[in-house]
Every structure is written in structure tokens, then in C-alpha cells.
């Protein structure tokens, strides 16, 4: 389905979706810098990898369901459910104040990103022209990115100025506002079916769509680094004396936002593979810089370069996935990519925590190892680039 204005992406629906995504992204990202310290205060320092790992585990497991429901029940209900999970979990964090209940809540919280982005990406693909798909994914990603930058920085300020409970309730309010916007948006799925038990019967094709193997594999390998960054950088900030642990995330996201405005559009013009190749090379460089960082300046510089890499890879891999999918299984194709994304983040989180082992001297090992997975992605991209050189969009 395409927009009624074939050459325009700047519709009211598009900007409402962007605002909802900004609020949603702010809601769960504002918690990330403070949760490792919160868990350590409970006596759960050895479980830091689970903060991101459990979150992404549930997100990944829920992707087949969100993809199927997106294609059957509608884009808007799936998005609204994701934001609803954030709203409820924000209210529950002040109640779950011991290690195991906290980890259980992180597991539940993961349903939010398991649903919202799947429905959102399908909605964007429905309302924009195919020839501007990469650009649209980049601009919408900017809205998510602004939330990712705004959330951690403001979250740390709220925690320091008021309390952690104030932070949790603020997260919940942001999610509620996201839902309110979605409830006033027009559904774009033409052939909707009523919700039924059959909608939850998952087959292999709901888990893995072979048509999108290439962008899904590259996503998996590249997002190990994201899991490590989300898990380890709060401790890295403490080690370097960076008081506001949200600054790294703010620098990372600001640089990501600036690149997103360009990367998707360039991939529309020159093809997904060359732009993905550039993003992967920059990702490897960012892991090397971060691994060697021994000052706040170098640490934040690594975050800026990491943001550039993610600003390139995120919209281009999403657009590439949609390019390879059919209209009738767009949600399933996107779910496959997001399953690989969550798997990469989750494994990266657990692996980085195990390699770190709460020992500062292990920080270089963590980031160099994550760079190694990005090198594997680079090798795969070079192979398909050699085979499909000159392709505009695969």
C-alpha cells in the first residue's frame, strides 16, 4: 500500500508515528544508564548482562507473534500493545525491589520492543513510496534516535535530582502519551482479520523468512556491539569519572541522528549493499576506539563513531529487508530481521558481561571481541557485494 501523495513522505500520519516512537523510545531508554547501579545495589552485580539480555530475549521470542499479528490484526494494535507494556512496567519497577523479581520484570519489559518496532516499520512501509523507503526509514529512525538520546540524559538527571522511583514513573508517563497518539492514527492494513487463537499459531516461516536472510544475518552480527555498549558503558563511565552515565548514550544517539538523515536516502540512490558495507567498517573502527579509550574524550569519541555506524546500518538494513519482502508478509519479514537484531543484542549483552566479569582491565577485550563479530559481517558483505556489484537495491 502506498501513500495517496506518491512522492511525499511528510504526511500527518508519518509525523504522528514519529512522535509516538520518540515517546516510546524515551520511555525505555531513560532507564538504561541507571539500571546496572540499581541492580548492583540490590546485590545483583553479577547479573548485569541480564538487564539487556533478558529484555532482548523476550523481544526476540515475541517477534514471530508480532509479525503475524501485524499482518493479520493490524499495525496500530501491535504498536499500542508494545507501548502499553512500557507503561505497565514503569509502574512496577518501584514494587519489584529484589534481584529475581527485578529480572523477571526485565523479561516482561522486553515484550515492548518485541511488538512496537515491528508494527511501526510495517506502517512506515505502507505509507511511503517505495523509491523513498530508505529515506523514510532514516527520518523515522531519527525520531527513535532523538528519544534514545533524550531518554538516558534526562533519565539520569531525574534520578539524580529526584529519585529512581521518579524516573520509573516518568518512563511510564512517556509510554502512556505514546499510546494516546496511536489511538488517533488510521490503520493501514486493508484486509484485517479479527483476533483469534489461530493468530497465535506460529510456524517456521513466522520465525524465519528466507527471503531476507542477508540483511538479517548482517543485523545479527553487527548488533553484538550494541548489546555490549548498553551493558558495559555505564561501568566504563564510572571508571572514567563521567558522572552522568547518559552522556555516552546522548553522544552516540546525536551522531546517529545526523547520519540517519542522509544514509537512508543515499541507499535509495546507490543501493543497500555499498552503504551497509560503509556502516560495517565504521562499526569496527568504533569498537577499536572504545577498546583503547582511557580518557573521557576518547570514550565519547568512540560513542560518536559508534553512533555513526548505527545511524547508517539501522535504516538501511530495515529498508533492505522491506525491499526483499512481499506486501502480504511484510510484518513477518521485519520480524525475522528484528529477531536477529534482538538475538545479537542479547548474546552481545551476556557475552560482554561474561568477558568483563566486573574487572576494568577486561574492557578492551570486550570491545575488541565485539569488533570481531562485525568483521565477520564485513566479510559476508564483501562476498555478496562482489556477486552483486552495481545493484541499486537488492
- DSSP states of 325-336 as a string? S-GGGHHHHHHH
Q: What is the pLDDT of residues 198-214, one digit of tens each?
A: 767 776 666 778 888 99
Q: What is the DSSP letter of 226?
A: H
pLDDT of residue 279 exceeding 90: yes
pLDDT, residue 205, reads: 65
Residue with cell 483469534: 196
State the cell numbers at 298.
576518547
Q: Convert the pLDDT of each residue in 48-80 to its tens digit.
A: 778 877 887 888 788 888 888 988 889 999 999
**Pick from 260, 222, 208: nearest CA to 380:** 222
* pLDDT at residue 233 is higher than 70: yes
383, burial (CB in 10 Å: exposed 0-12, middle 13-18, buried 19+)? exposed
Count CA within 13 A, CB hemisphere, residue 218: 30
The predicted model scores a pTM of 0.72
**Could you report the per-residue pLDDT of 86-141, keeping only the tens digit for each?**
999 999 999 988 899 999 999 999 889 889 988 898 898 888 887 887 788 878 87
**Percent of the chain whose pLDDT exceeds 90:** 38
CA dist., res. 301 & res. 253, Å (int): 12
List, for residues 6-53, the tens digit of each pLDDT value: 456 778 889 999 999 999 999 988 988 888 888 888 888 888 778 877
Element spanning 304, H or E: helix 296-324
> At residue 194, what are phi and psi to the nearest 5 degrees?
-65, 150
DSSP 390: T
Contact 2, 14 (CB under 8 A): no
**CA separation for the pair 205, 208 (Å, rounded):** 5
Amino acid at each position: 500500500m502506498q501513500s495517496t501523495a506518491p512522492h511525499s513522505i511528510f504526511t500527518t500520519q508519518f509525523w504522528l508515528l514519529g512522535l509516538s516512537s520518540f515517546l516510546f523510545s524515551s520511555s525505555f531508554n531513560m532507564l538504561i544508564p541507571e539500571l546496572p547501579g540499581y541492580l548492583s545495589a540490590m546485590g545483583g552485580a553479577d547479573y548485569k548482562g541480564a538487564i539487556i539480555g533478558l529484555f532482548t530475549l523476550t523481544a526476540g521470542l515475541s517477534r514471530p507473534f508480532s509479525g503475524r499479528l501485524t499482518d493479520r490484526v493490524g499495525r496500530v494494535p501491535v504498536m499500542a500493545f508494545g507501548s502499553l507494556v512500557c507503561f505497565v512496567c514503569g509502574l512496577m519497577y518501584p514494587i519489584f525491589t529484589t534481584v529475581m523479581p527485578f529480572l523477571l520484570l526485565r523479561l516482561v519489559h522486553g515484550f515492548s520492543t518485541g511488538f512496537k518496532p515491528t508494527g511501526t516499520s510495517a506502517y512506515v512501509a505502507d505509507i511511503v513510496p517505495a523509491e523513498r523507503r530508505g529515506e523514510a526509514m532514516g527520518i523515522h529512525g531519527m525520531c527513535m534516535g532523538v528519544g534514545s538520546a533524550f531518554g538516558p540524559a534526562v533519565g539520569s538527571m531525574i534520578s539524580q535530582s529526584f529519585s529512581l522511583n521518579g524516573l520509573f514513573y516518568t518512563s511510564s508517563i512517556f509510554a502512556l502519551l505514546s499510546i494516546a497518539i496511536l489511538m488517533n492514527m488510521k490503520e493501514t492494513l486493508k484486509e484485517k482479520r479479527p483476533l483469534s487463537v489461530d493468530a497465535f499459531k506460529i510456524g517456521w516461516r513466522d520465525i524465519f523468512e528466507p527471503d531476507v536472510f542477508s540483511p538479517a544475518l548482517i543485523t545479527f552480527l553487527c548488533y553484538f556491539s550494541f548489546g555490549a555498549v548498553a551493558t558495559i558503558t555505564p561501568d566504563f563511565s564510572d571508571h572514567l569519572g563521567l558522572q552522568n552515565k547518559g552522556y555516552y548514550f546522548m553522544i552516540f544517539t546525536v551522531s546517529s541522528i545526523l547520519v540517519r538523515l542522509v544514509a537512508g536516502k543515499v541507499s535509495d540512490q546507490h543501493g543497500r549493499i555499498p552503504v551497509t558495507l560503509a556502516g560495517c567498517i565504521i562499526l569496527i573502527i568504533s569498537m577499536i576506539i572504545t577498546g583503547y579509550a582511557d580518557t573521557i574524550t576518547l570514550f565519547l569519541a568512540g560513542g560518536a563513531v559508534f553512533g555513526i555506524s548505527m545511524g547508517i546500518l539501522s535504516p538501511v538494513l530495515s529498508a533492505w529487508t522491506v525491499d526483499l519482502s512481499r506486501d502480504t508478509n511484510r510484518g513477518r519479514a521485519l520480524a525475522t530481521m528484528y529477531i536477529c537484531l534482538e538475538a545479537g543484542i542479547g548474546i552481545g549483552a551476556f557475552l560482554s558481561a561474561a568477558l568483563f566479569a566486573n574487572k576494568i582491565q577486561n574492557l578492551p577485550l570486550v570491545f575488541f571481541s565485539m569488533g570481531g563479530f562485525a568483521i565477520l559481517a564485513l566479510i559476508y558483505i564483501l562476498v555478496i557485494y562482489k556477486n552483486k556489484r552495481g545493484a541499486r537495491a537488492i
